[in-house]
Amino acid sequence: MKINVIRKEYTPKSTIGELYVDGKFECYTLEDRIRALKVPGTTAIPSGNFEVVVTWSNRFKRPLPLLMNVPNYEGVRIHTGNKHEDTEGCLLVGKTKQRDFVGNSKDAFSELLPKIQEALQREKVFLDIVQENAPSELLAPGKPPMARAARGLTPRAAVPAGAKAAFSEKALDLIISFEGLNQPGKWPGGASGITIGYGYDLGHVTAEKFESDWAGCFTPPQFARLREAIKKAGASAQALAARLADIKCRAADSRRVLLECSIPEFVERTRQAFPGFDELPSDAQGALVSLVYNRGAGMKDSAGANNRLEMRAIRDLVPLGDLAGIAAQLRSMKRLWAGKGMDGLVRRREAEAALVESSVAPAVARGMARSFGVAARGAPVKRRAAKKPASAKAPKKKAATKAATKSKPAAGKSARKTPAAKKVALKGAAKTTVARKPAKKKASANPASRIR
């Protein structure tokens, strides 16, 4: 049994589609809005082909259709509901539709569920989701991709508004620029597998994930041939490349897979690898995701090598928000490839380091100087420089007092106490209390004194 969902109407809140069963119109669907990157609970699932089973839902306390192997999602079901607040990434069905609304949902679901259950008795059921003419402004703020294409530039990768873990546009451009559009007939070298699109390595994915991510992008015979490259890397992948040279990836398909499938996955991998990731500025986050997308998130050195030293150092620097330290470690990493004919990797690490450093000034502007290494060290210097004119006379007073003190031969050990005496002499008895304040601060600074 084949279920098709064609997304047709898009708003900033929801996506309305039409659902067909074996080519015949069945009902309407409502999902969350589409986004380039997932925002949990408010994002429609990526387009693609998914197996459907019916299992018990603990939440709804009844059997419901479940979509299998949806990239970066779990528990995606088809159920009843009317508005985008009811979806949380699932598909709602209805007999009628309005803007951001489907009606008669219970009737639509009560007719659809038995058809799925009956079909499952004799065959597998698959649901294919495609989207027609999705407006680019819903995927990203600002000008749509065609605005750049009209100027002869590469269309800029879309970035969703308000996504906490989203990249900056600079970071997406960096990844697309360095990855390039890979074709199956050209093996990247090293330990890579056959790589397609923007860095999608068939040597490190399952056949199920590959077919789900790239659904509708290749013909069935092409899928069958590309499956031969699954889990093959190095020399094994190299031997396959020539036989796959006639298969081509389209740029539009490759960009969709990058934004909807690969980037969300690697954002999560980077978050796991570097605790404190979410507190960094978005440009710094994007640079680290580019690093993990290229090198992986491993922290353990290869046998007999010290090739993950900087990765571990960055892991320690991220919780401190030390942007200068992170950038320095990215540059230090270039030692692994410099002079070995791998200039692309050297340039990529430099670009990532520069991107991290570019986020220092915005962090300071937002009042986050204490959290970021360069800003924290730079800001106090400026404040001290600003105070110098006001305190210019202080050295003269101290010098005069010091000269008077030296003229008294009987100072002895009591000379160590003269700083307090100087303060009294210069600023009056009212300043005596100020001189005692540091002692009070030290006492209250003890965490144990605040425990009750």
One domain for residues 112 and 29: yes
Q: Which residues pair with 200 in a beta bridge?
A: 196
One domain for residues 278 and 361: yes
Q: What is the pTM of this model?
A: 0.49
One domain for residues 278 and 312: yes
**Closest to 32 (Cα-Cα) out of 18, 16, 20:** 16
One domain for residues 318 and 423: no
Q: Is residue 274 part of a domain?
A: yes
* Top-confidence residue, 228 or 34: 228
DSSP 198: T
Number of domains the chain contains? 3
Band of residue 167 on the pLDDT scale cut at 50, 70, 90: low
- The residue with tokens 């006639």 is 246
One domain for residues 364 and 436: no
**Using CA atoms, how far apart are residues 411 and 133, in angstroms rounded to an integer?**
89
One domain for residues 132 and 6: yes
CA 170 to chain centre: 13
Q: Is residue 142 part of a domain?
A: no
CB 325 within 8 A of CB 374: no
DSSP 368: -
Task: Provide CB contacts within 8 A for 153, sequence distance 6+.
Answer: none
Three-state DSSP string of 349-362: HHHHHHHHHHCHHH
Q: Is residue 81 part of a domain?
A: yes
Domain termination residue (choose one: 136, 154, 189): 136
> Which SS3 state, helix, strand or coil, does residue 123 take?
coil
Q: Which residues pair with 91 in a beta bridge?
A: 78
Domain termination residue (choose one: 101, 136, 171): 136
One domain for residues 360 and 397: no
Instruction: Give the residue numbers spanning the domain of 351.
Output: 265-391
One domain for residues 386 and 397: no
Which contacts qualify for 136-144: CB closer than 8 Å, 24 or more apart?
138/10, 138/11, 138/12, 138/33, 138/34, 138/35, 139/34, 139/35, 139/36, 139/259, 140/36, 140/169
One domain for residues 302 and 357: yes
Q: Is residue 197 part of a domain?
A: no
**Using CA atoms, how far apart are residues 11 and 66, in angstroms rounded to an integer?**
25
Q: Is residue 180 part of a domain?
A: no
CB 182 within 8 A of CB 188: yes
Task: Provide CB contacts within 8 A for 393, sequence distance 6+.
Answer: none
Q: Is residue 339 part of a domain?
A: yes
- The residue with tokens 């008077």 is 404
* Top-confidence residue, 116 or 73: 116
Cα distances from 139 to residues 8, 74, 142, in angstroms, run: 15, 22, 10
* Top-confidence residue, 415 or 179: 179
Q: Is residue 314 part of a domain?
A: yes
Cα distances from 315 to residues 4, 14, 234, 297, 374, in angstroms, run: 44, 38, 29, 10, 17
> Which SS3 state, helix, strand or coil, does residue 113 take?
helix
Band of residue 427 on the pLDDT scale cut at 50, 70, 90: very low
- Looking at every residue in the chain, the average pLDDT score rounds to 78
Band of residue 34 on the pLDDT scale cut at 50, 70, 90: confident
One domain for residues 18 and 68: yes
- The pLDDT tens digits for 358-406 are 987 655 544 444 444 443 333 333 434 444 444 444 444 444 444 444 4
One domain for residues 382 and 362: yes
CB 337 within 8 A of CB 307: no
One domain for residues 428 and 382: no
**Using CA atoms, how far apart are residues 360 and 128, in angstroms rounded to an integer?**
44
Q: Is residue 169 part of a domain?
A: no
Domain termination residue (choose one: 136, 151, 166): 136
Residue 430 has pLDDT above 50, yes or no: no
